[in-house]
Chains A and B, each alone.
Chain A
Amino acid sequence: MTMQRKRFSPRDYLEENPQARKILRIALVIALIIIGVLSVLAAINIYSWDGFVVKASKSLVNGLALSMLLFLMVSGFFLIFGLCDVINFAHGAFFMLGGFMGFTIYLATEAIFLDPALPFYFIFGANQFAMSVTAFIVSALGATAVMALIGGGIEFFTIRRLYGNPIAQILLTVGFMFIITQIAEIFWGPSQFSYFIIPNSQINYFFISGIFDFGGGLQFAVYRIFLIFLGLAVAGLMFIGFRKTRIGLQIQAGIEDKEMVEALGTDIRKLFTIVFMLGAGLAGLSGAVLVPWIGANSGHGLTYLIYAFVIVVVGGAHYGRFEGTFFGALVVGLSIQITSYFIPFLEDIIVFIIMAIILIIKPGGLTGHA
């Protein structure tokens, strides 16, 4: 027998010495903090204190709003991925179509409210605020309902036959992505056109189009702050729903262990359909609330699909942790907005840099196990 010489490998060394691991971790955290403080100081040095505060607060607000929006969308993607094991390539297209649905339903509701022949005209009268609020709520709910129906229909008629064949599911969902994108392009034009509510609305009024002004350049669009609270509210509702309601518990249990849930008497097929409806509905809702800020655009499908992938992987949601989507969305949304204010040339790739770093340090994402 030949003697095998043991090579030195830092990984083995760290595994054998917990003391060294601890020291290294502390040193890493300290180094990260120092780097962060230094970069903040450098930013202050470049932009002056006031300019830095303005930029930082703006990017924080925008980043939080974007991350809430992304969270709404990705939680749908995560539910479908977690329970049904389907990588839904059509999710970005659902999101995009939800935006157009919200836009169309808002305008249609407004037109109905303004029609003198209908009773709504007498209810609202000249109260533009109430009219706009109602139209917005109707549009959000309507987009959710339409997308839930479409998602449920797709699951019921096609994906149901293909469980257990992930490769075929990819092909199928990509096919739906193409169909939905192309239909949207036929109706609303290519991705060069973005649709906003304000110039297209008949009364040219939207209920939260104002700006909070704190003076000194500290101006925030009210809608983005509203988005933060909306996202938090929906997230809270979902957390409560998953903890308290029967179907939420069933979904959570199904993500953990499908066979067991089925053996305990739950109709897992029905659950799959419900989850698909829920996921597509969340995509529709997030698309609809995106319209007043970024607009409805037929090119959003692929962009936001890739964001959804990144968020799930960064947050570690592919190990079945629902919190993962929340943290992943926070990381992605904040990093996009902060870099777009401070380091504009990195805006497109910062997400991928952060993802690569996180995956190299923790292959399971932020909340997953390694």
Chain B
Amino acid sequence: MLNVRTIVRKLKAIIHRIPSILSNNRTVIAVLAFLYLLPLGTAAGTSPVRTLLFLITKIMIFGLLAMSFDLQLGRASLLNFGHVALFGVGAYFMAYTLDADFLPPPFNLIAAIPFPLSLIVAMMIGGGLGFIMGLTTSRMRGTAFAFIALAIAMFIYNFFSDNSDLSGGETGLTLPTPALIRTAPFYLLFVILAFVFLAAFIGMVVLYIKKQTESIGLILVSLVMVPFTGLLLFFGTNVFGPVLVFIAFLGMILFYRIKQSKSTSDPLQYSENQTLTGKVKPANILTTYVLPFIIILIAIIGLVVSFGTNIAQMISLWIEDKSTVYYTIPVQFYLVLTCLVIVYVFIRRLIASPFGRMVIAVAQNEERAEALGYNSYRTKIVILVISGAIAALAGALYAPFIRIIDPSTVLGVEVTISAMLYTIIGGIATLLGPILGSGVVVYSESNLVDVIKYGLGLPGQLWLVGLGVMYILIVLFMPFGIVGSTGRRFDSVKGKLQRMKLRQFEFGLKDADYWVFGLLGAMGIFLLLTEDSGVLPIAIGIFGLLGTIGFLLLLIFRREIWSRLKSSSGRLKSRSITFGGRIRSRLRGRK
């Protein structure tokens, strides 16, 4: 029976879970809040951010494709040469739902499917195709699977390229933008979502500063909040918003001071907050609830004030002229970003679930998994269906985004090869790897010509050679992909950083602290990529300032750091992963 009390209890349980969700996903929330903030900075006219938004949208779409590919290759060890069929089917289905003229009369009824629903139907079709691939192929191992999938993909490609009245032939189909993307309420929905994420970000920072009562917490938070305010100052439309956000930051410092004065460093010391029931009672309502909410409120008001003009301009743009391209780019960015977030969370939960463990068990040793009672056939089919649905979603998002699709760009074998490359470059069996890999490749594809032409003075035709050289360098120096290899190398540095002590306080970076560098890195990359000459000096200024401070700190504390590093590396001996440690042990063995 559902009654009011159970509903209230469930809601309460959800609300009580929010702080733990916030503090368990710090990096993700920080970077996502930043990404959701970006389109708010686009003004109504031409804006330099818009080109970058277009590029990031493309990267995210191919990131989705690569994630679905990695679900097969990295998790289930299924090398699928026909992956492009899933993508292309999604793209063409989306094309047919957007315009009734593409299909002959009895079939053009699918054009009646409204836009966001057609995304879901496309996912179902992709899942169905994945199911067919799975039915015919999953009983076979390795190569046979890859090649029957390739055969299916080639069938579909040839079907579409032979029937040029269906597929548009070489010129392709030119698609209209879905009507929903051009409406303001749809945009406002995403703006609200963006503010939810930003509130989550500010709340996460407040929670962080509440827990991290050492001075390093304050240093790290100010490292983030100062550039954040600077960014608002540059991309916002007025001064008052950033000032409000800065006031919120000052409030955080106040909050931190209050918390620090109350915190007890010794856990064994008796505290008035503790009772025998084991529950920790809040010290008082003011510092636990009121102050954080005031801080979040001030920050959100600041954000609304600084971007209010832009949002109003976008809405007026919709009222004036419905067919403008400027309008659709931020909306599509939001749409793709939201899809990417949902898929990311889904894949993360899937891999951590018992089913995900089963998939890995089947991939590692099929006979053993079957002997333990798992149905490997069904597991593979389910993975193929899920991955097919995600790939079709990527295709369905790609079609209205790129607006012209033809068989060779959405169904050619090259797409499979590039999805494979994105996955491998980013690192297989990692969550962020495929997205990063597609970012690296798509960005280089569009900018390598300029680099080679103006940077190196070589003819611009050589860009594909440059891409090949880049792949070879990546594979020689990072054989497990960007995320995989840096993760392995990073572990040794991380161990050293966690053991570092400066003067009185531990300069220990904990696992929870890396969100700062994630967010700073995202900001830095964004500022460097913005093709506006006005942004670059500011970026260089902010990061130069931070770098100088860091350098001065290093200079002042160099002896301490060096001695800590030395003593900590002595303790690191047992860790076999460290690169330096391996060489040292080899030298020691020679003696």
What B residues does A309 contact at CB under 8 A? Answer: 81, 147, 150
Q: Is the pair A182, B468 in contact by a Cβ cutoff of 8 Å?
A: yes
Question: How far is B414's CA from A302's CA once the two chains are assembled, in angstroms?
Answer: 9
Mark each residue of chain B from 136 to 150: 1 if its CB lies under 8 Å from any CB of chain A, else 0. Answer: 100111011001101
CB-contact partner of B143 in A172, A306, A313, under 8 A: A313
Asked if A257 is at the interface of the complex by the 8 Å CB criterion, the answer is no
Asked if A167 is at the interface of the complex by the 8 Å CB criterion, the answer is yes
Q: Is the pair B155, A178 in contact by a Cβ cutoff of 8 Å?
A: no
Mark each residue of chain B from 409 to 448: 1 if its CB lies under 8 Å from any CB of chain A, else 0. Answer: 0000110010011001100100000000000000000000
Q: Is the pair A168, B479 in contact by a Cβ cutoff of 8 Å?
A: yes
**Size band of the interface chain A makes with B:** 35 or more
Q: Is the pair A353, B471 in contact by a Cβ cutoff of 8 Å?
A: no
A165/B476 contact (C-beta < 8 A), A170-B420, A183-B465 known? no
Asked if A161 is at the interface of the complex by the 8 Å CB criterion, the answer is yes
Q: Which residue of B lies closest to A183 (CB)?
A: B465
Question: How far is B140's CA from A186's CA once the two chains are assembled, in angstroms?
Answer: 42
In the assembled complex, the CB of A146 is this many whole angstroms from the nearest CB of chain B, namely: 19
Q: Is the pair A179, B136 in contact by a Cβ cutoff of 8 Å?
A: no
Q: Is the pair A175, B475 in contact by a Cβ cutoff of 8 Å?
A: yes
Q: Is the pair A171, B421 in contact by a Cβ cutoff of 8 Å?
A: yes
Asked if B472 is at the interface of the complex by the 8 Å CB criterion, the answer is yes
Report A171-202 residues with CB < 8 Å from chain B CB. 171-172, 174-179, 181-183, 185-186
CB-contact partner of B425 in A165, A171, A310, under 8 A: A171
Q: Is the pair A158, B476 in contact by a Cβ cutoff of 8 Å?
A: yes
Asked if B474 is at the interface of the complex by the 8 Å CB criterion, the answer is yes
Q: Is the pair B424, A170 in contact by a Cβ cutoff of 8 Å?
A: yes
Q: Is the pair B150, A360 in contact by a Cβ cutoff of 8 Å?
A: no
Mark each residue of chain B from 142 to 163: 1 if its CB lies under 8 Å from any CB of chain A, else 0. Answer: 0110011011101100100010
What A residues does B471 contact at CB under 8 A? Answer: 171-172, 174-175, 178
Asked if A26 is at the interface of the complex by the 8 Å CB criterion, the answer is no
Q: Is the pair B158, A348 in contact by a Cβ cutoff of 8 Å?
A: yes
Q: Is the pair B144, A313 in contact by a Cβ cutoff of 8 Å?
A: yes
Question: How far is B405's CA from A336's CA once the two chains are assembled, in angstroms?
Answer: 29
Asked if B461 is at the interface of the complex by the 8 Å CB criterion, the answer is yes
Mark each residue of chain B from 463 to 475: 1 if its CB lies under 8 Å from any CB of chain A, else 0. Answer: 1110111111011
- Total A-B pairs in contact (CB under 8 Å)? 107
Asked if A233 is at the interface of the complex by the 8 Å CB criterion, the answer is no
Q: Is the pair A182, B464 in contact by a Cβ cutoff of 8 Å?
A: yes
Q: Is the pair B479, A179 in contact by a Cβ cutoff of 8 Å?
A: no
Question: How far is B465's CA from A185's CA once the two chains are assembled, in angstroms?
Answer: 11
What A residues does B144 contact at CB under 8 A? Answer: 313, 359, 363-364
Report A319-370 residues with CB < 8 Å from chain B CB. 345, 348-349, 352-353, 355-356, 359-360, 363-364
What A residues does B140 contact at CB under 8 A? Answer: 359, 363
Q: Which residue of B lies closest to A169 (CB)?
A: B475
Question: How far is B148's CA from A310's CA once the two chains are assembled, in angstroms?
Answer: 10
Q: Which residue of B lies closest to A179 (CB)?
A: B468
Asked if A58 is at the interface of the complex by the 8 Å CB criterion, the answer is no
Mark each residue of chain B from 56 to 77: 1 if its CB lies under 8 Å from any CB of chain A, else 0. Answer: 0000000000000000010000
Q: Is the pair A356, B464 in contact by a Cβ cutoff of 8 Å?
A: no
In the assembled complex, the CB of B290 is this many whole angstroms from the nearest CB of chain A, namely: 54
Q: Is the pair B150, A171 in contact by a Cβ cutoff of 8 Å?
A: no
Q: Is the pair B479, A349 in contact by a Cβ cutoff of 8 Å?
A: no
Question: How far is B472's CA from A172's CA once the two chains are assembled, in angstroms?
Answer: 5
What A residues does B141 contact at CB under 8 A? Answer: 363
Asked if A318 is at the interface of the complex by the 8 Å CB criterion, the answer is yes
CB-contact partner of B472 in A176, A302, A310, A360, under 8 A: A176
Asked if B113 is at the interface of the complex by the 8 Å CB criterion, the answer is no
Question: How far is B145's CA from A355's CA once the two chains are assembled, in angstroms?
Answer: 11
Q: Is the pair B475, A186 in contact by a Cβ cutoff of 8 Å?
A: no
Mark each residue of chain B from 445 to 488: 1 if its CB lies under 8 Å from any CB of chain A, else 0. Answer: 00000000000000101111101111110111001100000000
Question: How far is B481's CA from A165's CA once the two chains are assembled, in angstroms?
Answer: 11
A356/B424 contact (C-beta < 8 A), A165-B479, A172-B471, A183-B465 known? no
A186/B479 contact (C-beta < 8 A), A178-B468, A345-B162 known? no
CB-contact partner of B468 in A176, A306, A318, under 8 A: A176
Q: Is the pair A158, B424 in contact by a Cβ cutoff of 8 Å?
A: no
What A residues does B420 contact at CB under 8 A? Answer: 170, 174
What B residues does A27 contact at CB under 8 A? Answer: none
In the assembled complex, the CB of B553 is this many whole angstroms from the nearest CB of chain A, namely: 38
What A residues does B468 contact at CB under 8 A? Answer: 174-179, 182
In the assembled complex, the CB of A357 is this many whole angstroms from the nearest CB of chain B, namely: 10
Question: How far is B468's CA from A171's CA once the two chains are assembled, in angstroms?
Answer: 9
Q: Is the pair A182, B462 in contact by a Cβ cutoff of 8 Å?
A: yes
In the assembled complex, the CB of B173 is this many whole angstroms from the nearest CB of chain A, namely: 21
Q: Is the pair B151, A353 in contact by a Cβ cutoff of 8 Å?
A: yes
Question: How far is B81's CA from A306's CA once the two chains are assembled, in angstroms?
Answer: 10
Asked if A35 is at the interface of the complex by the 8 Å CB criterion, the answer is no
A171/B464 contact (C-beta < 8 A), A313-B144, A313-B147, A355-B147 known? no
Q: Is the pair B475, A162 in contact by a Cβ cutoff of 8 Å?
A: yes
A178/B424 contact (C-beta < 8 A), A162-B479, A171-B475, A360-B136 known? no
Q: Is the pair A318, B475 in contact by a Cβ cutoff of 8 Å?
A: no
Q: Is the pair A158, B472 in contact by a Cβ cutoff of 8 Å?
A: yes
Q: Is the pair B465, A179 in contact by a Cβ cutoff of 8 Å?
A: yes
Most chain B C-beta atoms within 10 Å of own C-beta, residue among A162, A167, A172: A167
A161/B147 contact (C-beta < 8 A), A174-B471, A306-B413 known? no
What B residues does A348 contact at CB under 8 A? Answer: 154, 158
What A residues does B467 contact at CB under 8 A? Answer: 175, 178
Report A140-166 residues with CB < 8 Å from chain B CB. 158, 161-162, 165
Question: How far is B462's CA from A174's CA once the two chains are assembled, in angstroms?
Answer: 16
Q: Is the pair A352, B150 in contact by a Cβ cutoff of 8 Å?
A: yes
In the assembled complex, the CB of B481 is this many whole angstroms from the nearest CB of chain A, namely: 8
Question: How far is B187's CA from A220's CA once the two chains are assembled, in angstroms?
Answer: 67
What A residues does B461 contact at CB under 8 A? Answer: 182, 185-186
A352/B151 contact (C-beta < 8 A), A167-B424, A168-B424 known? yes
Q: Is the pair A174, B417 in contact by a Cβ cutoff of 8 Å?
A: yes
What B residues does A355 contact at CB under 8 A? Answer: 147-148, 151
Question: How far is B195's CA from A177's CA once the two chains are assembled, in angstroms?
Answer: 46
In the assembled complex, the CB of B82 is this many whole angstroms from the nearest CB of chain A, namely: 10
Q: Is the pair B148, A359 in contact by a Cβ cutoff of 8 Å?
A: yes
Question: How far is B424's CA from A183's CA once the two chains are assembled, in angstroms?
Answer: 24
What B residues does A177 contact at CB under 8 A? Answer: 468
Question: How far is B465's CA from A176's CA once the two chains are assembled, in angstroms?
Answer: 9
What A residues does B470 contact at CB under 8 A? Answer: 175
What B residues does A161 contact at CB under 8 A? Answer: 476
In the assembled complex, the CB of B407 is this many whole angstroms from the nearest CB of chain A, namely: 12
In the assembled complex, the CB of A166 is this many whole angstroms from the nearest CB of chain B, namely: 9
In the assembled complex, the CB of B134 is this many whole angstroms from the nearest CB of chain A, namely: 14
Question: How far is B73's CA from A167's CA once the two chains are assembled, in angstroms?
Answer: 10
Q: Is the pair B462, A175 in contact by a Cβ cutoff of 8 Å?
A: no
What A residues does B475 contact at CB under 8 A? Answer: 162, 168, 171-172, 175
What B residues does A167 contact at CB under 8 A? Answer: 73, 424, 428
Q: Which residue of B lies closest to A364 (CB)?
A: B144
Q: Is the pair A349, B465 in contact by a Cβ cutoff of 8 Å?
A: no
CB-contact partner of A174 in B421, B463, B465, B479, under 8 A: B421
Q: What are 29 A-to-B residue pairs whose CB atoms are below 8 Å?
A: A158-B476, A162-B475, A162-B476, A168-B424, A171-B471, A171-B475, A172-B472, A174-B420, A175-B468, A175-B470, A175-B471, A176-B472, A177-B468, A178-B467, A179-B465, A179-B469, A182-B465, A182-B468, A185-B461, A186-B459, A186-B461, A302-B414, A306-B150, A309-B150, A310-B147, A348-B154, A352-B155, A355-B151, A363-B141
Ranked nearest first, the 8 interchain pairs of A and B with the lowest CB-CB distance are A175-B471, A179-B468, A182-B464, A178-B468, A352-B151, A175-B468, A175-B472, A356-B151
User: B residues engaging A (CB < 8 A)?
Assistant: 73, 81, 136, 139-141, 143-144, 147-148, 150-152, 154-155, 158, 162, 413-414, 417, 420-421, 424-425, 428, 459, 461-465, 467-472, 474-476, 479-480
Task: Other than A318-B143, A363-B141, give 17 A-B pairs with Cβ distance below 8 A.
Answer: A161-B476, A162-B476, A167-B424, A172-B471, A172-B472, A176-B468, A179-B465, A182-B463, A182-B465, A182-B468, A309-B147, A345-B162, A355-B151, A356-B151, A359-B147, A360-B136, A364-B144
